[in-house]
Amino acid sequence: MMAQMLNFEIPQDLARDLKQWRTRIGAVGVIALALTLLGALIGPPGQFFRSYLWSYVLFLGVSLGCLAWLMMQYLTGGAWGVVIRRPAEAAARTLPLLALLFIPIVIGVPTLYSWSHANIVAADPVLQHKSMYLNFPFFLGRAVFYFLGWLFCSWYLNRWSENEDRTASPVAHQKMAALAGPGVLFWGVSVTFMSIDWVMSLEPHWFSTMYGLLFIAGQGLSSMAFLIALLVLLSQYEPMSRILTHRHLHDLGKLLLAAVMVWAYFSFSQFLIIWTGNLPEEIPFYLRRLTGGWWWLALLLVVGHFALPFALLLSRDLKRNFKLISRIAIFILFMRAVDIYWQAAPDTTNGVFAPSWMDLTAFIGIGGIWLAYFLTNLAQRPLMPLHDPHLEEALEHGRE
Amino acid sequence: MAEEQDLLERPERPEIIAPGYTFGTVTDQISAVVLTKKTPIFWTACFGVGFALLLLFLWSVVLLFAKGVGIWGIRPPVMWGFAITNFVWWIGIGHAGTLISAILLLLNQRWRNSINRFAEAMTLFAVACAGMFPVLHLGRPWLAFWLFPYPNTMAIQPNFRSPLVWDVFAVSTYATISALFWYVGLMPDLATLRDRTTSRFARFTYGIMAMGWRGSARHWSVYETASLLLAGLATPLVLSVHTVVSFDFTIAIVPGWHSTFFPPYFVAGAIYCGFAMVLALAIPLRSVYGLKGLITDKHLDNCGKIMLATGLIVAYAYLMEIFTAWYTANVYEHEAIWHRMFGPYASSYWSLVMCNIIAPQFLWFKKIRGNPVLLFIWAVIVLVGMWLERFVIIVSSLAQDYMPSSWGLFHATRWDWATYLGTIGLFMFLFFLFIRVLPMISIFEVRTLLPQAKVEEEEAPR
């Protein structure tokens, strides 16, 4: 039996390196965030919140996507699910940090969202109508509700996973599988309303029923790209070097390709429908994003977020090549950042294409702190679930 | 030796087909349904009903051609009525077959092997029923070829900006690929029937259809390549066909139609009612023909789960539809949803909510999914619900759009119903004909599910 031959504990050299990465990345993150805070004092007014929001939404998306994949693998089973369990659990455990990091956005509501100003709302019948939904107390209440749900899912899945490691009882797996169905449901609905609240309402007149689905697909894509890049990195060390096979990466690569396609399908459908409809209340969204510098970002999205990864990921050999697929995954993560920037930033700058140095520092700051905290969490537990019912099957996967 | 022991002790996943089958018994049981002289009464009854309804269909179509579309209830402003509802409904049913045959093949979901054949047949016949409605609805169906961009002396081309023209290409591609995929998959089994039948006529016919299949390694290698390629081609079709169908609605700026998430919502709805149809066909068939060992409770359970998942996506769509209608702050969007919920079609709307959202929640329970009779009833409920959904979307939005002075309600005539029931007859007629003369379960693919096939299976190049 393979499971008995392998030691899933993190060996010393990996533990040392993890610690080193954590310290370095964390330090860079803290410095970058400190710079961003400095920018809040000396930079253009409001730029801090604008930069902070999109960076935050990006990294929250990676954590939530990991939580969703974790629940999905309990629903569907399969070898690919067992190898991502620990990294995905660790990413889900970063949600408390992300809840903390949400506080600046709450402070920034008056800067970011025009619907939060009574005088603007009073002059605008559309906003008056929406004020039942778009008002500060309800906005905050919904955010608290989303976080409670996500934190509960994360806590519950990690608790029982720890229990499974300790007691080897099959009950733990049943408990986690029982949460998975309702959990994925909650994730879908909460991410939809989260995207409406935090990003779509930056332009409170605009609406699209596809918007939530775009974020659902986007989160699935960012987190899968992150997991693939991380697994390949870990595979340079024991025990992952002996666990991860080409078959695992092939399966995960297929999911990555599927997520790329779903994202493109949703994005293009939304674009086509709004473009042909050409209605005054819908088209400004794209007019804004297809003029000036945004036009180049939009083209970059078409090529880099869809065409290139799609064409590359079709190749079977490429999905099985550790180095190449991790490079594609990192590139996709970069494109996810471009996409969220393209979605969120034009409305906060009134359509002007004005990237700021703070966009970069906020991205590095939040990303660095998040990644450092993630690595801390990852180092806490063995790299594979010790008693997953599909463990043997997952280890044999690709070795027959 | 120790390694062998390990292999034996390896925890197996639950078997997909009942234990005790061998290559021989699988072949015997499936081919016997076709090669026997005795026809079950169940078959005769269903075929008879289908044939009677088919005659009704022919009657109504002849009347339609003679008198025009006025025999239907379509009047301005509701010009789409039953015909387009049925078109969307039927084409949606086809999607489950393609999902099972193509996507589940690519995903290595091997349980599909015992349901893919009849699901693909279902797809073909459903597309045949669907394809007729837009043509019948033209008013002058003999001019249907105008939809194709053929070279003509007037140098007139169809308007390529119209999703109705995209439909022509989407649906005809879909029909072609589905037919090819189905036929290619049939060939090894046709050869089996050719070799087993005792009747000269049957041997001749199956022999021609099997195209000289001898089961050599080269044949199998070509076969595997062809079926993977066709699966790859069919996969995007699962999404594209119903996406294009949804564009028929969203590209128009009619309130209640112009909604950006219609494409995935329509696709999910299509798979939802397609799986309902798979269950509605599989459950009676497996009891009548004693195929419970091949189409097991595990299959029904899986189909039930897919129905639940897609049903939840549909529920999400209804929720977002209502929320967004409010959120738009647009009076026409408000009214469109308000009319749906409390207007003249409210009874249809609430029935569809019952059928599509409330009822499937029971599928969370393993007890319901494990009970074939209940599952059959649930599948029929979903089929009805999905028909109502399309009806409500089409009719309620057209009946009451922008100007109250141009409003008008739709009343179905008896010929609307006759045409609809007629296509159900056509579907039953074709489907039961298929059951009688072709193997409804893929013989050779089920053989690969047997434990005996395991070694070969794992050594096969993927």
Q: Tell me: the pLDDT tens digits for A267-283?
A: 999 999 999 999 998 99
Q: So what's the pLDDT on residue B289? A: 87
pLDDT of residue B456 exceeding 70: no
CB contact under 8 A, B247 and A133: no
Task: Give the residue extent of every domain in chain B.
Answer: 54-451
Q: Which amino acid is at B440?
A: M
CB contact under 8 A, A188 and B321: no
In 3-state terms, chain A is what percent helix, strand and coil (to 5)? 80, 0, 20
pLDDT of residue B96 exceeding 80: yes
CA–CA gap between residue B268 and residue A375 (Å, rounded)? 38
Q: So what's the pLDDT on residue A315? A: 86
The alpha-carbon gap from A200 to the nearest alpha carbon of chain B, in Å, equals: 12
Is the CB of A212 inside 8 Å of chain B's CB atoms? Answer: yes
Q: Can you tell me whether residue B249 is helix, strand or coil?
A: helix
pTM of the entire predicted model: 0.91
Cβ-Cβ contacts under 8 Å, B257 against chain A: none
Number of domains in chain A: 1
Cβ-Cβ contacts under 8 Å, B333 against chain A: none
**Which residue in chain B is spatially nearest to A72 when comparing CA positions?**
B309
Show the domain range for A48.
3-396
For residue A130, give the nearest of B6, B262, B329 by CB distance: B329
Cβ-Cβ contacts under 8 Å, B243 against chain A: 265, 269
Q: So what's the pLDDT on residue A3? A: 65
Q: Which of A174, A154, A152, A155 is nearest to A164 (CA)?
A: A174
**Which DSSP state fits A168?**
-
**What is the H or E stretch that residue B43 is in?**
helix B41-67
pLDDT of residue B9 exceeding 70: no
Taking only the tens of pLDDT, chain A with its 400 residues reads 566 677 788 888 888 999 999 999 999 999 999 999 998 888 888 889 999 999 999 999 999 999 999 999 998 877 788 899 999 999 999 999 999 999 999 999 999 999 999 999 999 999 999 999 999 999 999 999 999 999 999 999 999 999 888 888 888 888 898 999 999 999 999 999 999 999 999 999 999 999 999 999 999 999 999 999 999 999 988 888 888 888 889 889 999 999 999 999 999 999 999 999 999 989 999 999 998 889 999 999 999 999 999 999 988 888 888 899 999 999 999 999 999 999 998 887 777 888 889 899 999 999 999 999 999 999 988 888 888 888 888 887 766 5
Please determine, looking at this structure, whether the domain spanning B54-451 carries the CATH number 1.10.150.120: no
Q: How far apart are the first and last CA of chain B?
A: 28
Q: So what's the pLDDT on residue A1? A: 55
The alpha-carbon gap from B11 to the nearest alpha carbon of chain A, in Å, equals: 8
Q: So what's the pLDDT on residue A66? A: 95
Q: Tell me: the pLDDT tens digits for B146-173?
A: 888 888 888 888 888 888 889 999 999 9
Is the CB of B322 inside 8 Å of chain A's CB atoms? Answer: no
Q: Tell me: the pLDDT tens digits for B347-362?
A: 999 999 999 999 999 9
Taking the CB of residue A375, how many other CB atoms lie within 10 A of it?
21
pLDDT of residue B87 exceeding 80: yes
| Predicted complex ipTM | 0.89
CA–CA gap between residue B390 and residue A342 (Å, rounded)? 35
**What is the H or E stretch that residue B286 is in?**
helix B262-288
Q: So what's the pLDDT on residue A299? A: 95
Q: So what's the pLDDT on residue A78? A: 73
Q: So what's the pLDDT on residue B12? A: 44
Is the CB of B316 inside 8 Å of chain A's CB atoms? Answer: yes
pLDDT of residue B14 exceeding 60: no
The mean per-residue pLDDT over the stretch B183-202 comes to 90
Task: Rounding to the nearest 10 degrees, give the CA dihedral for residues A163, A165, A168, A169.
Answer: 30
Q: What is the mean pLDDT of chain B?
A: 87
φ, ψ of residue B153 to 5 degrees: the values are -65, -25
Q: So what's the pLDDT on residue B82? A: 92
**Which residue in chain B is spatially nearest to A252 when comparing CA positions?**
B107
Q: Tell me: the pLDDT tens digits for B388-427?
A: 999 999 999 999 888 889 898 999 999 999 999 999 999 9
Cβ-Cβ contacts under 8 Å, B260 against chain A: 208-211, 269-270, 273-274
Q: Tell me how far the alpha carbon of residue B445 is from its chain's centroid.
A: 21
b (16+ CB within 10 A) / e for B232-249: eebbebbbbbbbbbbbbb
CA–CA gap between residue A198 and residue A184 (Å, rounded)? 20
Could you tell me the pLDDT band of residue B67, with boundaries at 50, 70 and 90?
very high
Q: So what's the pLDDT on residue B1? A: 38
DSSP B321-368: HHHHHHHTT-HHHHHHHHHHHHSTTHHHHHHHHIIIIIGGGGGGSHHH
Q: So what's the pLDDT on residue B7? A: 41
The mean per-residue pLDDT over the stretch B36-45 comes to 88
pLDDT of residue B62 exceeding 60: yes
CB contact under 8 A, A207 and B327: yes
Is the CB of A277 inside 8 Å of chain B's CB atoms? Answer: yes
Mutate to test the interface with B, among A184, A207, A257, A393 (most CBs of B within 10 A): A207
The alpha-carbon gap from A74 to the nearest alpha carbon of chain B, in Å, equals: 14
Q: So what's the pLDDT on residue B231? A: 85
